Amino acid sequence: MASFEEEYKKQEPVVRTLSFIALIGKRVMVKGHENFVKKGPNILVGNHIGSFKDIATLMKIVPRPIFFTANKMIFSKDEFNFLIRKHAQRHLKNFGLFLDLILNPIKSTFVNYISSTMGKVGMIPVDMYGGKTLAIQQCQNHLKEGRAIVALQGRGRVEKREPNPYVRYFRRGVSIISYNLQQEGISVPVTPLAIFGTHFPFLVPTKVRVNVGEPMYIRDHLSNNFSETIERFRIAQEERVKRLLREIIHL
- Over residues 47-66, the pLDDT tens digits come to 999 988 998 899 899 999 88
pLDDT the model gives residue 114: 58
Separation between Cα atoms, residue 124 and residue 177, nearest integer Å: 14
108 occurs within a structural domain: no
Asked whether residue 31 carries a pLDDT value surpassing 60, the answer given is yes
The secondary structure of residue 121, as a DSSP letter, is T
Separation between Cα atoms, residue 242 and residue 210, nearest integer Å: 12
78 occurs within a structural domain: no
- DSSP states of 192-217: EEEEESTTSPTT--EEEEEEEPPPB-
State the number of CA atoms in the 13 A half-sphere of 186 facing the CB: 20
* Residue, of 214 and 76, whose pLDDT is higher: 214
83 occurs within a structural domain: no
24 occurs within a structural domain: yes
Q: Interior CA angle at 120 toward 45 and 22, to 5°?
A: 60
Tens digit of each residue's pLDDT (9 = 90 or more) over 101-149: 665 665 566 555 555 555 555 566 665 454 577 788 889 999 999 999 9
Backbone angles phi, psi at 250, to 5 degrees: -105, 10
Most confidently modeled of 10-14, 84-88, 92-96, 184-188?
Answer: 184-188
CB neighbours of 162 closer than 8 A, spacing ≥ 6?
168, 169
Distances in Å between the Cα of 146 and the Cα atoms of 11, 42, 66, 88 are 20, 8, 11, 36
pLDDT the model gives residue 104: 63
Burial bucket for residue 138 (CB in 10 Å: 0-12, 13-18, 19+): middle
pLDDT the model gives residue 68: 81
pLDDT the model gives residue 207: 95
Q: Give the DSSP H/E element, type plus range, for residue 15.
A: helix 4-22
Separation between Cα atoms, residue 124 and residue 75, nearest integer Å: 10
Computed over every residue of the chain, the mean pLDDT equals 83
110 occurs within a structural domain: no
67 occurs within a structural domain: yes
Separation between Cα atoms, residue 17 and residue 20, nearest integer Å: 5
Q: Taking the model in full, what pTM does it have?
A: 0.81
Separation between Cα atoms, residue 164 and residue 157, nearest integer Å: 12
> CATH code at 181?
3.40.1130.10
State the number of CA atoms in the 13 A half-sphere of 125 facing the CB: 15
- DSSP states of 131-181: --HHHHHHHHHHHHTT-EEEEEESSSS--TTSSSTTSPPPPSHHHHHHHHH
The number of domains in the chain is: 1
Separation between Cα atoms, residue 140 and residue 122, nearest integer Å: 13
What pLDDT band is residue 95 in, cutting at 50, 70 and 90? low
| Average pLDDT value for residue range 190-202 | 95
Domain extent, residue 223, equals 4-71+123-248
150 occurs within a structural domain: yes
244 occurs within a structural domain: yes
